[in-house]
Amino acid sequence: MLGYLLMLYTREIIVRGGYGGHGCVSFRREKYVPFGGPDGGDGGDGGSVTIVASPDAGDLSLMRQRKEFAAGNGHDGSGWRKRGKKGEDLAIPVPVGTMVFTDGDSGMETLLSDLSTPGQEIVVAKGGRGGLGNVRFATAVNQAPEVATKGKAGEERCIVLEFKHVTDICIVGHPNSGKSTLLSSISKAKPEIADYPFTTREPVLGVMPGDRRDFVVAEIPGLVAGAHLGKGLGNGFLRHAERTKLLILLLDGSSPRVMEDLSQLDREIALYKPDLTRKPRIVAVSKVDSPQAQAGVSEVKKELDELEVPVFYISAVSGQAVLELMRRAMEMVEQGRQAEETTSGPQIAVFRPKPRR
């Protein structure tokens, strides 16, 4: 089951550009034109394969049963200097947030493009050029050439697609810690909620309305101790936390080992990718209105309050402190975005003149 779900977020495909059409060998033969000369047209170029970021695509399921994608071939040229029709281009829709890799000369994958905005596209396999008709080879010496060239083959590549959600906030926690309940309380998302673990088997997105703009919130499947070794559903879904602006580490307040649960989450995140540990984060303790949580949280509250990150004690069912949590989360997301804009600074256009022939 896990392998099937991960295939929806990473796929390897083969893309081929179309063949170019052949050039034509033809001569004008008209009643009152005794020396008509050559009039063979060029072949049409082959179509190209383009990968487009589409907001309508939810995952990479299009490539589940189809591994090869080819654009249309160009048509051959014909008489009367008619150029062949260009082959049809092929556009492959992928979700926004898909990274496109290809094998480099050294055998390592090379990032071709990060399709992080809707409508962004990249040509991954160019079509072959059409052949030249015999009219191209006419000279003063050879006025009736019987030569034409064939069309070229299009590019062929092995492409690796990796999809990572682009979100503002990502909720990470153990199974049954209340992630789905929290997401459903702050957005219109309808994740599956039940009293057994791993009700969430793939990332779920929700949109949380803000004062100036909406925020995209993601919930990923629960992490257990040893997730980096493949236990539970593994940590393969942490890829969707790599692009988030803020992590909310959600702890089950009714658990007898709240601090140990927090340490396990930090350990699994660090083992997956150390860069994730440097992202801004908030610690939220859920289910604080239950009798089991009230006794346990009071014992570890002092330790939690000593953390260098904001800590909230919430109940997604009753709504306790949920509004305060999300307001703080939105503030931290905006602060991080402003800091990124200040660091990057304005882009300066550089104009380079073309070299003279």
CATH of the domain at 83: 2.70.210.12
Share of the chain above pLDDT 70, in %: 84
Alpha helices in the chain (DSSP H): 2-7, 179-186, 258-272, 291-305, 322-344
Residues 40 and 92: their CA atoms lie apart, in Å, by 35
Pairing of strands 109-115, 10-16: unpaired
Judge if pTM exceeds 0.85. Answer: no
pLDDT digits (tens, 9 = 90+) for 19-62: 999 999 999 887 777 777 899 999 999 999 999 998 888 777 77
More confident of the two residues 110 and 43: 43
Tally DSSP H helices, then E strands, for the chain. Answer: 5, 14
CA atoms within a 13 Å half-sphere pointing along the CA-CB vector of 289: 10
User: What is the sign, positive or negative, of the torsion defined by CA atoms of 140, 145, 147, 151?
Assistant: positive
Amino acid identity, residue 196? Answer: Y
Lowest mean pLDDT: which of 4-18, 128-142, 148-162? Answer: 4-18
User: What is the sign, positive or negative, of the torsion defined by CA atoms of 170, 171, 175, 181?
Assistant: negative
Residues 191 and 204: their CA atoms lie apart, in Å, by 7
Domain that holds residue 85: 9-163
Number of domains in the chain: 2
Q: Which residue has the tokens 């049409």?
A: 44
pLDDT digits (tens, 9 = 90+) for 161-214: 888 777 888 888 888 888 888 888 888 777 666 554 455 556 777 888 877 778
**Which tokens belong to 183?**
């997401």
More confident of the two residues 141 and 198: 141
Lowest mean pLDDT: which of 32-36, 228-232, 340-344? Answer: 228-232
Average pLDDT of span 259-274? 86
Same domain, 219 and 290: yes
Same domain, 129 and 207: no
SS3 62: helix
In a domain, 301, yes or no: yes
pLDDT attached to residue 6: 44
8 A C-beta contact, residue 1 and residue 232 = no
Q: Which helix (H) or strand (E) holds 158?
A: strand 156-163
Residues 199 and 191: their CA atoms lie apart, in Å, by 8
Same domain, 156 and 201: no
Listed residues 163, 194, 224: the one ending a domain = 163
**Residue 4 pLDDT more than 60?**
no
Closest by CA to 51, choosing from 163, 143, 152, 136, is: 163
Residues 91 and 105: their CA atoms lie apart, in Å, by 26
Listed residues 108, 143, 163: the one ending a domain = 163
In a domain, 79, yes or no: yes
β-bridge mates for residue 52, sequence order: 93, 121
**Residue 66 pLDDT more than 80?**
yes
Q: How many Å is the maximal CA-CA distance in the chain?
A: 106
CATH of the domain at 266: 3.40.50.300
The angle subtended at Cα 303 by Cα 297 and Cα 309, nearest 5°, is 100
pLDDT attached to residue 32: 75
Average pLDDT of span 102-131? 84
